[in-house]
Structure formats: structure tokens, C-alpha cells
Chains A and B, each alone.
Chain A
């Protein structure tokens, strides 16, 4: 149960109830589709039914004949207006807004219809007549690599290959693998999945009488949208006002700029009316940013005693028809370099080749800091496979190879400097809480009876807080974040940040940071985000970067206020500023607790009696982080597998996280519950699959599976605290850890359950059928070897 913090005591580390909740609880949230402007039109999009097809002609007339339909635009219209292409955040490619000449994936946007009602827009969209000439689709990245059919004719090079990237020491790694006493190698596929927030993407675009664009949109990064819109449309950036109102979940899906947004802006300009576009669920699942789709060959070299000596990972990445990965790093594979995980690999090498296919573009993070989930899953699975082949307890293998507490800051073989960590303590805490020894005994008994029970571990390390400007940018913009704080005369205030909560609770946690730094009541610190007219320029909320970056900016802006306040306090106390100290949430003359003033006193004085100081009490801070932060954790899953149907029951799941200093334990626990449920979904249910002809088989919530309250396991959580040494309050970010860390724990548990049968690896999602098939094949193998 949560409580309200006492402003005279700590505001940090308190489970304060969320300030934003009363409006959500009463149906008074303001999401994009709740915004209705007078005279607004509705837009519907026409999608390609073919994954790869020449577009011979488009006839708008039947659609225009539908009552209520006002206009239809096509790719050619946009090209004529110079708006045919969108820049992608990855920086290696651009994306067609509406298909011109060819459609490159099933459901690609081909035309946009504007009408007076939602229904009429859809009626019109149905009637746009398009003459397609189907072409051979390229569905697998391995096929794409052959370049037999080249998908993108607009690019200079006639190939499906997008880029090659590598990091680490190729030759040394090769030598170390050759010299290793044990080498394990496994192809591990992290399937294509989709973040699927419950609120689909959407926008309302309106040009006011001054020609200024007001753009209400489901965006995790409103400022970046403003800049992107300015770049795409040529509208001066001061004439663009982007508002992200309440956002119904994002998980990375609401980072990229989508074609529908550009079409809505164009429609609004053309028709001189506000235009609303709200995605259907099908549009969300088939056209907006997917996640993962990495095919990884992982090799670990080790000594016979389990000491790891080398890691090599070769990845083939499927990026779909455009390289629209929302990846702001200067590295094509994002932060995949975290693939050495929590372990001391003396040498490592990772390389990746990315390809175009006739599938939806994307590669956004699904609650993941740019490919960290793929990396984490790969290493945590591979460590278990190594343990299995060495006949070692996977826990012992991990302990043996962990980076030790005294080694931080730790330089990894692939170049990251891990800020802090205490892997052994976190693991020990997990082992004790889960009762590992008892579980092992129970498992032995069950195995003797032929029952399949598994215990799976994941001891992951993440890298979040994008990021230091030397390594990150979007469209050239550095990945800093920002805060502006104003303290009002009566001691309340407002903090504005460049981030945008989509459920993370910033209205509460940002207030707690300010309250902690300034000794004010967090209930009276208002938080504003998402409006580019008022919020300072920031790069937004994703990749667990809000707390590591904006949280730091807020803290440091508050400290700037404190420094100014100290001078005013000195004036009030008739002392020199050097003699005034901030202690116990108030200013006092050093060593004289009886002579003190509160921040509230100072705030009033700032406007009424500032002395020789400049009046007012406000500050801003743009924070360029010196390093990433490295949260870590130990997750344990306990599962029972039904050998006849392949059904897996997750009986227990314990997450012990270390995200450094905790601002609000209740909010952190909520983030972990949510991320674990997404991890569960990925491990067991979720996949965007395409058939051999390139048809998307999961275009709705009937076939793209979101777990319900009955499938979602009960979560047990705990934590350890290893503060980040470089973050002002020692916080590291937590939103993604559960999604990054949990898939491996689930899969390791199921593989542990199946290990008596000799099953080594099954790719996610671990559907009943896949598990059943693995059991059948293992039993068939055993039957043959028994003969």
C-alpha cells in the first residue's frame, strides 16, 4: 500500500500514490482520439494486399463518389509535392510515405482517404481501385542475402544487403575459440514481435489561421517529431506545435514517425480542415515498428572448468522493406555489444548483416534499449547450453564467470564501461528467496517419476540511458535530455521535461526528485511533458532513458535552484552564502540549526525580498550523460511441462532487480510486473509470422496474442541497490529490465525441464506445439538409440 511522503523527510524511495491516476480512473484522461476539433475530417488508409507488387494504376474516382469522402491522395501526389519520403531515425535509409511504383510489403500504405466520418473514410478506402501486378516476394533474410530478387530499386546499390557491422577482436576471438577446451555453438532466433500498446497510434493535425500546424500525436518523443516534420515538410519549426497528450502505452512502438502522420498533415493542409487518423489494430500490427527479428549464431569458448575464454556472435537481421529501425546509436546494431552480458569474456567479437525483405519495416525497441534484449537473450541462453554441455549447474557457471564487484567500473571486451554492479549478491538473494536447494530436490523426485519440471535462470546486465552524445543521435540531434523548473512564491512549482510518460508515472516520480532536492511537497510540484510549446527540447521516453537522462537533468536543474536559493537564504539569514548549508531539507547557518530557513521561505523571498539577487527562482538543465547506466538482475523461473500437450505452466517467477537508487518502489515494482508479463508473452505466445508468400499471419489480436489475467503468472519481486556512480541520484532506469531479462529465464526453465530428454534448444515462442514437437522428436531419437 502506498503512502504520501512527508516533505520534511525523504521524498525519494517512497511509494507515493500516483498523482496522474485520478483522471485516468474517472475516464478523464485525454488521449489523442479524445481530441475532437470543429469540422474535423477522418482519414483511412488503403493498404497493399500484396507483399511485393508493381502498381500499374490507381483510380480514386469510385472512392470520391462515396458520400462524405472529400479527397484521396496517393504516393504520386506526395512525390509531386516533395513529400514522398520520410527520413528514418536509423539514418541509413528513408521510407516511402505512400507506395509509388511498387508496394514492398503486405499492408504497405498506398493511398489515404479523407471523409466526414470514420465510417465513410473506410467505405472510401475500400473503393480505391488499384491495379497490382504481383512480384516474387522475398520473405526470409537468408533468401534476401542471395540477391536473386532485389527489393529496393530506388537505392543506388542493387542489393538487399543494408550493411555489415562488427565490433571486437575478430582474429583474437578466432584464436581463443580454436584454443578453447570446450566450444558450444547454437543458432538462436529472436522472433519478430510487436510492442502492441493498447492504444493504437494516431494523430489530429490542424493548421490554424496563422498557418501554424498543431499536431496532436501518440509520440514518445514529441520534440523529435517536431524536428522531423520540419525536415520533411519544410514548415519552419516555430510554426509546428506538437502535443503528446496522454499516451496509452508505447513500449517503443510510438517512437518512429509513420506515413499516416505525414498523410494527415498533408490532408489537413490540402482540405483546410483538421484531420484525425486513428490506426486500426490491424494497421498497428502490420505497418508500425515491429521488434527483434535477429537470427544469431552464438559461440562460446571455455576451459573445462567452465571459465569462459571467448564469445563470438554472428547475426543476420531482417529489417523489412525499409531500414526504419528506431535506433539512435551511431552503431547499426544499437547496443548489441552488451552481448558479453555479466561475464568476464577476455575477448569477444560480434558481427551483423542486415537485409531488406518484403515485410513491414521497423526494428523498434519493444521495451528494450536498442537490441539489448536480443543480446541478453543470446548470452543467457548460450551460458545455459554451455553449462549443460559441461554438466555444470548453470548457477555455478554464472558465479564462476561473473564480473566481480571489485572490478567496476568494468571495461567489457566489446567496449562498454559498466558503471557499477554486484552480481553475486543479487544472485545469492534470488537463490535464497526462491529456495533453490529445495527446488532441486523436488526436481530430482519429479524426474524420477518421469515428470518434466524446470528451473531457469537469467542473470542479465542491461545498458540504458541513451546516451552520451559521442555515441548517439537522432537526425543528428544529440541524445541529451532536459528539465526546466520554476518555483512559485508560495513554495509550489512546476517541472517541465523533454520526456513523455506513457504510463511510467513521471507526473509523480519527477515531482519526487524535485521535492527531494528542494525540500518541497511533491504533491505541489506539477509535472508537464509532451507539449513542444512549453517543454524544453528533449529526446523523449524510451530505452529506459527517462530516469538516467531526464531524471538527472531534473535533479541538476533543482540543484541549480538550490544554489540560487542559498544566496537568497544567506540574505534572509544575514550571513554570507559560504556560511549557509543545505541540511535536513533546509538552509541553516553552518552548525547552527536554530538559524534556518526553509525552501518555502526562500521561494517567497525570491519574489518579495531577494536582496541583491536577481528575483525569481527557476532553472533549466540539459544533461548529456557521461556514460550509460548498467542495471542488472537475477530472474528465476520454475515451470512444469505437460509432456502430452506441450503446455508449460510457470509455477513461480522471481525477479531480483538492481536498478540503482529507487525513486518510487511502487512504480518500479509496477514497471517490473508489466515488463515480465511482456517477457512471458514473447517467450510463450507472441510472434509476427509471415507465410511463404509474405502474408502477415498475425494482423489482429485474435492471432497476435496478448496474455490475459489467467495466463500471466504471479510475480515475485525483490531488489538490491547498487547506485550508479555517475548519476546525480544514483538511479539507473528499470522499465526494460524485466523484458530484457525474462525471456531467457523462461526458455532456460523449459529447456531445463526437457533436458532429461536430451532437448537442447527450441526457439521462441515456446508454443505448446513447439514444445510437444521437441518432446516427440527427442523421444523418437531415444527410441532409435535404444534399438
Chain B
């Protein structure tokens, strides 16, 4: 299958890209990794008339720790993050997520920021970003703004990025030493979107109680969701099986999945409970190892 025709613009700067988006309005789309957009165009589910390619903006390719954040540029691929030694050493949740996004070849072209902007209801990065309290950096005609991931995710396939704006970076807070996380995903096979998935990140205080908790689920509602009630339950408590079970129950309560070829609503909802419980248990055991 072949996309409908479009005009192609290769941007040489973010400003140029933003200007092109402003000029062409809703008919224009940013082409970053293209791993969601191009298949959608081949099926003619997406028909942008203008593609603004930011692929040659090398200054958007970076992955570095700076002032308490892991800063990931808009053209940084999943594979780059997957392979980064520092990420693998200290960002447990991101590591586990990057191992199961799409498939290993697609990860060489797909980008983390692009996935967050695509905001598929079953996207993996959105859950990981929620659980780790990421911040999106969005640039537009009036400059740059930071958007917490909770505000960035607006609805299925809809984000806080406005016309003429471009998301240029995602920032993941650098975890403290006593932080770990886990990503639990049920997929029908490698390369599939999640049937259900859960992202978990916990930070322990010196006394062994939970100082920070991030719990998010994906493919279990119209978009990836933070399980606020679970996080509230976990805070200040000592990790225990009972505590995790109660937190997982909150994920079950929150989950409101659509039935589709990946599973019934009932199955997915039940898996929310299992996956959150497993993610919490594994995170806890990593912290106590």
C-alpha cells in the first residue's frame, strides 16, 4: 500500500519546521521517526498534504543527564535509549520499557518523543513517562514551555501541542539511588501494541517507607493513565504484598479498556490488577536486592 501524495519539506532548523507547520495548519505533520505515521499513511488512515521532516536536525539527537533530568531530544531513537549504559544502570523503568517498544528494528527509527506525541492509547512510553513524572518541552512561536506529562496527554491521539508548536524534548527526572521501577506488558507477540501494560516506579526513604510512587497503565483506557489512588496508597507505607495488592486493586478500578482484537474489556481490566501487582513486587525486590 502506498500513501496519498504529499509535499515534502526538509527542515533545517526547528524554527523553519515550526514556520512550515504554522503556514500549512492542520494539513501538515511533523515527520520524525515515522514509525507510526508512515504505516498509517500507507493504509491512508493519515493523509497529511505536507510532511515536515525534522530528521536532519542533528541538534535534536541527544541523551544526557543535566540538572536532575535525563534529557531526551526529539530525534533520539528508542534504540539509542535502549542501549545507553547510564540509562540501563539507573533508569530501571525506562530500560524495561525501551526493551519492549515495537520491535528491535523499528526502535532504530522510532523516537521516544515521537511516540509520546503520537499518543496512541496503547503506547508504552506514555505510561513510563507518567510513572516517572516526565516533563515535555514544547517549542512554538512564543518560545519554549515545559508541560508535565499529565497535562501533555489530552486524549487519544491528542496532546497539548498546539498548531505551530513542536515537542523538542522529554525530560525524565533522574532517580535517586533508592529508586527502581518495572514495566509489565502483555503483548500478543513482539512488535504488537500492548494488550495491557503497567509502568511502576518507587523510591524508598531511609526508613524503608515509600517516599515516591509512580503507577501508570496503558491500553486500559482512552489514553495512558496515572493510577493516582494507587500512588496515594503506597506513599509513606512499607512495601508489602498486601499493600501492593491494594494498590493493584486501584488500577483495576480505574481501568476502562475497550474490547478489541487484543482482548475483551474484562480480561484487560483484570490484567491491570495483575500487571501493577507484579510491577510493584518486582520493583520492590530490586530495591531490596
Contacts and interface: CB of A to CB of B under 8 A. Distances in A.
A769 B44 contact: no
B1 A282 contact: yes
Nearest to B42: A280
A393 to B, nearest CB: 34
A2 to B, nearest CB: 29
Interface stretch (B71-79, B143-151, B261-269): B261-269
A187 interface: no
User: How large, as a class, is the contact surface on chain B?
Assistant: 20 to 34
Interface centre among B5, B43, B186, B188 (most CB of A within 10 A): B188
Contact of B189 (A118, A126, A282, A685): A685
A234 B103 CA distance: 49
Contacts of B264: 769
Interface in B215-265: 261, 263-264
B5 A119 contact: yes
A773 B267 contact: yes
A698 B261 CA distance: 8
A767 B188 contact: yes
B49 to A, nearest CB: 14
B274 interface: yes
A126 B263 contact: no
A454 B247 CA distance: 33
A139 interface: no
Interface string B165-190: 00000000000000000000010111
A155 interface: no
Contacts of A697: 261
A238 interface: no
Interface string A100-134: 00000000000000000011001100100000000
A380 B4 CA distance: 50
Contacts of A769: 263-264, 267
Given A698-B261, A769-B267, A708 B44 contact: no
Contacts of B44: 126
Given A685-B189, A703-B261, A280 B267 contact: no
Nearest to B2: A119
B126 interface: no
A703 B274 CA distance: 24
B29 to A, nearest CB: 19
Interface centre among A126, A644, A767, A769 (most CB of B within 10 A): A769
Interface in B264-285: 264, 267, 270-271, 274
B184 to A, nearest CB: 10
A706 B190 CA distance: 10
A708 B267 contact: no
A49 to B, nearest CB: 13
A452 B3 CA distance: 48
Contacts of A282: 1
A644 B267 contact: no
A645 interface: yes
A710 interface: yes
A682 to B, nearest CB: 14
A272 interface: no
A707 B192 CA distance: 11
B25 interface: no
A113 to B, nearest CB: 13
A769 B2 CA distance: 35
B68 interface: no
Nearest to B277: A644
B263 A644 contact: no
Given A769-B267, A773-B267, A711 B189 contact: yes
Interface centre among A282, A705, A706 (most CB of B within 10 A): A705
A202 to B, nearest CB: 14
Contacts of B141: none
B274 A645 contact: yes
Nearest to A770: B267
A708 B189 contact: yes
Given A685-B188, A705-B188, A280 B271 contact: no
A331 interface: no
Contact of A710 (B1, B4, B188, B190): B190
A452 to B, nearest CB: 15
A708 B191 contact: yes
B188 A118 contact: no
A158 B189 CA distance: 44
A772 interface: yes
Contacts of A708: 103, 189-191
B190 A702 contact: no
Interface string A1-39: 000000000000000000000000000000000000000
A644 B2 contact: no
A119 B42 CA distance: 10
Contacts of B271: 645
A282 B45 CA distance: 14
A757 to B, nearest CB: 17
B261 A711 contact: no
Nearest to B1: A280
Contacts of A705: 188-189, 192
Contacts of B188: 685, 705, 767
A123 B4 contact: yes
A685 B192 CA distance: 12
Nearest to A687: B261
Contacts of A424: none
A768 interface: yes
A697 B188 CA distance: 15
A645 B272 CA distance: 10
Contacts of A707: 189
Contacts of B274: 644-645
A767 B271 CA distance: 14
Interface string A649-693: 000000000000000000000000000000000000100010000
Contacts of A122: 1-2
A697 B44 CA distance: 18
Interface in B33-59: 43-44
A405 B204 CA distance: 69
Nearest to A118: B2
Contacts of B103: 708
Nearest to B190: A708
Interface in A692-730: 697-698, 700, 702-703, 705-708, 710-711
Interface in B1-40: 1-5
Interface string A736-780: 000000000000000000000000000000011100110000000
Contacts of B1: 122, 280, 282
B236 to A, nearest CB: 28
Contacts of B191: 708
B190 A768 contact: no
A40 B105 CA distance: 33
A708 B100 CA distance: 14
Interface in A67-120: 118-119
Contacts of A700: 43
A645 B192 CA distance: 17
B267 to A, nearest CB: 4
14 contacts: A118-B2, A119-B3, A119-B5, A282-B1, A644-B274, A645-B274, A685-B189, A700-B43, A705-B188, A708-B190, A708-B191, A711-B189, A769-B264, A772-B267
10 nearest A-B residue pairs (beta carbon) = A769-B267, A119-B2, A708-B190, A703-B261, A769-B263, A644-B274, A710-B190, A280-B1, A122-B2, A705-B189
Given A767-B188, A772-B270, 19 more contacts: A118-B2, A123-B4, A126-B44, A644-B274, A685-B189, A689-B261, A698-B261, A702-B192, A703-B261, A705-B188, A705-B189, A706-B189, A707-B189, A710-B190, A711-B189, A768-B263, A769-B263, A769-B264, A772-B267
